A and B are shown apart, each in its own frame.
Chain A
Amino acid sequence: MTATPTAPAVRHIAIAGNPNCGKTTIFNALTGLRQRTGNYPGVTVEKKVGRFHGAHGEAFDLLDLPGSYSLQVRSPDEAVARDVLLGRREDTPRPDVIICVVDASNIERNLYLLAQLLELAIPVVLALNMVDVAESAGIHIDVPGLEQKLGVPVVPMVATKDKGFVELKQAISKPLALPPHHAAMPELIEQEILDLSSKLHVRPDAARSEALLLLTISDREHLAEATSGDEKVIEATIAARERIRAAGFDPVAAPIEARYAWIQGICDTTVRQDDQPTLSFSDKLDGWLTHPVWGWAAFLGIMVLMFVCIFWVAQVPMDAIDDLTKAAANFVKAKVPEGDFQSLLADGVVSGVGGVVIFLPQILILFFFLGLLEDSGYMARAAFIMDRVMSRVGLHGKSFIPLLGSFACAIPGIMATRTIENRKDRLVTILVAPLMSCSARLPVYSLMIAVLMPVASIWQKAGIMLSMYLVGLVAAFVMAWTFKRTLLKSETPMLLLELPPYRFPSFQTILLRMWERALIFLRRAGTVILALSVLLWALLTYPKPTDEKATPAEAIAQSVGGRIGHAIEPIIRPLGYDWKIGIGLVGSFAAREVFVGTMGIVYNIEDADEKTEPLRDTMIAEKHPDGRPVFTPLVCLGLMVFYVLAMQCISTVAIVRRETNSWGWPLFQIAYMTVLAWLGAFVVYQGGRLLGFQ
């Protein structure tokens, strides 16, 4: 008999750690996967897996676990980390090795998670990250001493400067033993853990940790949930808790105290802190940026700068794209014989797609700034100063991070709500997140601002744009306040927010993110927007008028799209809109940026025989049958307010459906946002008219 060589099984490694300890940076560096990294709490909420090769070329599957402070979970993403480590999930194997990333500048707090990981009976490698930050803060760590006390390999690292990776790979590639030490519990508790673990139907190596976690659960409802309703285990747990209490221990606090005492014992001999810690650059800067007055001034200043750049820097590339779009339309008209197909390509495809693509430079600049603010550590400060407002509406600053993320796109914003512990607070945040102005609204705002103020200065345009973002922000606060007092009543939570030290942003990361965003945007323009443009063109072209002498305007009015526009006109007339704007509103129901493309298609088909001129000029010249201009200042402002407040995004509906696991919440969200948008536009238009504006 001959032995057939078999490939060695790939070992699974999980990378765990507190939020902001540099876990994702280490994951990226090891696997080379391109993935978002940020330094505000809870950026890692997805399961992320990558493969890398150890010091001897052996393959490892690396799993990036969501950041968590302990295995006593408070939020859904922490629950994922705990379940993977305990081998509870069928979709993810229990790791063979854990890389525990510890922020050296916050070593005592970070070691708490390590203390729990050492109890899991899985080999652990400690990646002691940010040793440079610790040194500059006057914290000196005796690495060999720490290694000896913990009984696991300790690798000092500076992940952002690529230091320590060779040593980390070497440590992982060595045969690793189970951790020999962990925090000792009081004898009675240890005995109860042993007794309870023998009654559990779980994998033997996780039994101790499972029993310890059960002992910290105080109410029967959560116990039933944690034990899948196993009455015997529930009764045994309750009895064990009673005995622990009778002996004078608190079943929840005692294990925590024991672990902290153990950590203290280790740190006393291995960590030395300089007597006079110097006020760091970050601390000095925070004195200004989190100041009750200057903090707000800085926040507003940064926002104004961002919007000025969006208009100012983007102008040249936008003109270039506009020229390209015109050239493409002329090319189609020159090469494709006259007929419906030519109109489909020139008025439908080129106008629809080109009308949206022209805003790519502005969107990229927005992402450049968001990346800069996130990478530098400013986002956490923004959340901190916002906490004062957020707590007034019943939420805490942590809810502001998903809201800030929603400035880019509501989808990652809504996904980031997984870090919010309280279910009701999470729902409130999900419900108001799409009110934040996402990048897809930028084209609509830009177009309407151009129609509203064709010759305004960049500062004026930026001012209007900023005010639209503020309208969204205020609406989000008002709605959150309303929901917290009606549908989703709960107490205002306390804010526990970590302010990471300021870092010089990595331009490579920011440029990479802009590149990825450009690809996503162009892919969307080339697929969804393209297909929608074709369908919208068809809706605005067919059925054709029976009268061959009908003008293009009459032809559109008779088309399916025109009839839809006419059908909804009574609803939108109080907002000052005509049926053509109605077509835009209906056409952009699935994706709000399609409004711009739809307007392009509507007015291009209508002006098919005229010379090509910018959409802005066509819209400015557009008149009602009685000669009044259609796009008056109040209509333009009202339309912008409508788009600030309306849902108009099918992808967001899908993600809310997924995150809330029901159709009820997304449908409620569409309904309340549409009503709010209508009311907002109504107040602007009718209120403005009452005040004598046009």
Chain B
Amino acid sequence: MVSGTNGKTTTTHFLAAAVRASVAPETRRVVHNADGANLHFGIASALSEQPRSDLAILETDERVVADMIRLGKPEVLVLLNFSRDQLDRHHEIKGLGRSWRNALAAAGEDGPVVVANADEPLIVWAAQTAREVVWVDTATTWTQDASLCPNCGANLIRTQPDATGGHGGDWHCSGCSLAQPASDLRVVDGQIVDRAGVSWRPDLNVPGAFNVSNAACALAAAELMGVDVATALEGMRSVSSPAGRFATARFGETQARLLLAKNPAGWAEALPLVSTETVVLAIDSAAADGRDVSWLWDVEYEQLAGRTVVATGPRAQDLAVRLSYADVAHHCIPDLAAALAGHSAPVDVVATYTPFQRLRKMGKV
């Protein structure tokens, strides 16, 4: 089981590919909710389609984790990260962390082995109650949602530079004993150092430092499922466009690469990957996107200055105002198809969840 704010789908694809490369080459042995249907119904539906499978690799929405620990009895649980996301529904990310912590405590010795991101204080606090934890130093760079200790409320202290190659620094609490645990696996300068201390070049076919972090977590989980590191990495390299992320699609004459960004942490990862002269940004505020688009102001769109930006989607006008205040030249074309039409050079598209899914349909990827 894999959960966290960002990277659930890609990490689950990594893990499924690693397992298929080794213990279960036969596809039918593995249940995988590959398209990201990660709420109660989506998980029940994936399981019921393959009742004879003996392995399930499931991405799980943050709100469903506690129920899954209780009812699904996973053997391995991967906890990736926590950041502000859909606050109109979640209200407080700490409440989610608390629900995980309580569920792991209640499960006791019957609970899962947890693979947890040691860079994230709230993840560490939530995972502390698990019977066994494999800690991964993921070199996480987003620290804006981890100012206070989830245990006691005191300020968290970060020491720079991160001794293990991350930019966020190692952390400890100024008021209690909560601190970054010693890692079992870690990401150092884009390489993954495994539990035996061996350094591996991931050579993934999806871009971005955060996907190396995701791969490190998937690798730890794969090992727990009996896959050796070399085989697991070999499998993970076959992942190139998990559920349409990073896929290249055609929209008439236009060739577009699709990037998903659902929240400020996701945008902070996605925007530096943008490499085309013209960039299309698609924003919506449907339930799955979060109805409040205030988060647009937590994203540094200023870094797009000098490019041509097309703002699209139902909330394109909110983005247009944000871009004006960021001094980024832009056109506002709310209709997705019109925004993508007629680009002679390839374009990168960064979209929130709902327009991303619409673009996948339109581009058949």
| A and B pair up | no
B interface residues (Cβ-Cβ under 8 A, vs A):
none
